[in-house]
Amino acid sequence: MPLYVDASAKEAILQSNGEPYEVLAPDGRYVFVSSPKYIKELDSAPDTILSLQAAAKQMLQPMYTMHAFNWFDRRGTEGVGFVKALRTMLTSNLPAILPDLSTIIRARFEAIHDSHPVINGSRQSPVFTMIVKLVVLSNAVSFFGNDLAKNETFMESALAYVEETLIGAEIVRLLPKFISPVLGRILSRRIKNQEVVYNTLVPVAEQRCLERDRKKLGHETPRHADCIQWIMETSPRANPWTPMRIVHELMAIWFGSVHAVSTTITFAIHDLCLHPEYLEPIRHELLAGYADFEKTGLGLPLLDSFIKESARITPVEAQSTRRAALRPFTLSDGTKLNVGDWACTPVKAMMHNPDFFPEPLQFHGFRFADPAIVEQAVAAVVGSGTAEKFKTPQPKPSKLTDCDSTYHVWGTGRMACPGRYYATAVMKVILGQIIMTYDLELLNKQDSRWLTWRSTMLPRHSTKVVFTRREKN
């Protein structure tokens, strides 16, 4: 497989005419599907045959990157309570989280920004590094509460843990299979931040499990509203998770939430700088509607569309809908998946396909918004008769959290990311606080803004943005 599945995937889609095609890579065989018909077949296959969890296990190598987390290949073997914890409990708690989170992010952004050097009269900020710190803080507050978010040792390790997991997992994946367990264990001992994260969270989880047991005996116990509590409460009643198992789950969720959210926000900031005409309509929407968003976690359709379009143009991953074959599987056209093969969708190539997205290589920040809302917002800021320059080429509006057969940023169907509502809200908090308070300028626009490795696209740490505080009206 090429280091980055992009141009080759586009060409393959055209040549295959929507039929499945294979890519042979050093680490295995990949079968790509791009039509709704075959995507539905993958999504409908039982977990005992095609497994997202087994594919994630191969990608992240949790035995070596997540403190010996040896999860099962089949989803649900130990329960799927985490889905309810993220999709229902965390999402319903957003109105309680967002007002405080907005204040925390605004103050932390200002502190990080003020620490950056002034060069040639401008304060230059390495934007990806900055955003990762803000996402780590957001997740720590939302997942674990303010006490752990104030633990500097834990926060430093929680920040470094994400990059260590990325690098460590790739090293183990590329090793010959006969030697990867030995070198994986050596690598695991050298990756210290996973140990700090684990050792910090385990005592908290132990206390929560003790409180759970005391509550069953009729004792009064403290009330907690965080992911530690929800993961514990949604574990199987017949076989409740141990504190260690709860922490392992939290470590896996932590990695996914920090990595994808920080990358998406960073690319959206790049695009705001490259397409500054969108800034005022979005800012106007934020100033008018941010308070209502804080109360519900919903709304801000122009910002929502802008983030979605940015993620369509520069997605974190070129692959999605990953499924590892645990047993042989045959698609309806006769294409066979053998044990160990992967099925995937070439998500970036699909999102750049004119059959799905008109003018696919053109950035239309309001592509997914309701045209009537766009016209009204633009008229309020720029004046009537100017909305036509903000095209909405999709046949119908959609939301960032929507999942369909062509937009796979969150995965596909029944396995779509259950935390996407929380993730979307955090993106809007961070971007909203920045847009309402600062003007933005991207330095050295001609330089490369990202690097690619295999199917992953990451912003460069060297890309800098000048954030200039706006004068208060």
Query: Residue 260: which residues within 8 A CB-CB, separation 6 or more?
Result: 316, 423
Q: What are all long-range contacts of 109-118, with beta carbons under 8 Å and residues at least 24 apart?
A: 109/134, 109/430, 109/433, 109/434, 109/437, 113/467
Spatial separation of the C-alpha atoms in residues 130 and 427, rounded to whole Å: 14
CA–CA distance, 96 with 90 (Å, rounded to integer): 10
The backbone torsions φ and ψ at residue 324, rounded to the nearest 5 degrees and listed phi first, read -95, 135
Residue 119, judged by CB atoms within 10 A of its CB (0-12, 13-18, 19+), counts as exposed
pLDDT of 334 reads 95
User: Strands 28-32, 450-453: parallel, antiparallel or unpaired by DSSP?
Assistant: unpaired
- pLDDT tens digits along 320-377: 999 999 999 999 999 999 999 999 999 999 999 999 999 999 999 999 999 999 999 8
Distance CA 95, CA 418 (A): 18
Q: Tell me if 339 sits within 8 A of 326, measured CB to CB.
A: yes
Distance CA(361)–CA(354), nearest Å, equals: 9
Q: How far apart are CA 64 and CA 68, in angstroms?
A: 6
Element (H, E) at 233: helix 227-233
CA 152 and chain centroid, separation:
24
The angle, 0 to 180 degrees and rounded to 10, between the axes of the packed helices 371-381 and 279-296 is 120
Under DSSP, the state recorded for 84 is H
Nearest to 242 by CA among 209, 281, 217: 209
What pLDDT does 4 receive? 39
Tell me the H-state helices in 115-192.
127-144, 146-149, 152-174, 180-190
- Phi then psi for residue 148, to 5 deg, are -70, -30
Tell me the C-alpha distance between 230 and 142, whole Å.
12
For residue range 371-392, list pLDDT tens digits in order: 999 999 888 887 655 656 799 9
Do 38 and 22 touch, CB atoms closer than 8 A? no
pLDDT in tens, the chain (473 residues): 333 345 455 566 656 777 899 988 877 899 999 999 999 999 999 999 999 989 998 888 999 998 888 877 676 656 677 788 899 999 999 999 999 999 999 999 999 999 999 998 999 999 999 999 999 999 999 999 888 999 999 999 999 998 899 889 888 988 888 898 899 999 898 888 999 999 999 999 999 999 999 998 999 999 999 999 999 999 888 888 999 999 999 999 999 889 999 999 999 999 999 999 999 999 999 999 999 999 999 999 999 999 999 999 999 998 899 999 999 999 999 999 999 999 999 999 999 999 999 999 999 999 999 999 999 988 888 765 565 679 999 999 999 999 988 899 999 888 899 999 999 999 999 999 999 999 999 999 999 999 888 788 999 999 999 999 998 65
| First-to-last C-alpha distance (Å) of the chain | 54
CA atoms within 13 A on the CB side of 112: 21
pLDDT at 68: 85
Task: State the burial class of residue 202 (Cβ atoms within 10 Å of its Cβ: 0-12, 13-18, 19+).
Answer: middle
Q: How far apart are CA 346 and CA 401, in angstroms?
A: 19
Looking up tokens 């954030």, which residue turns up? Answer: 467
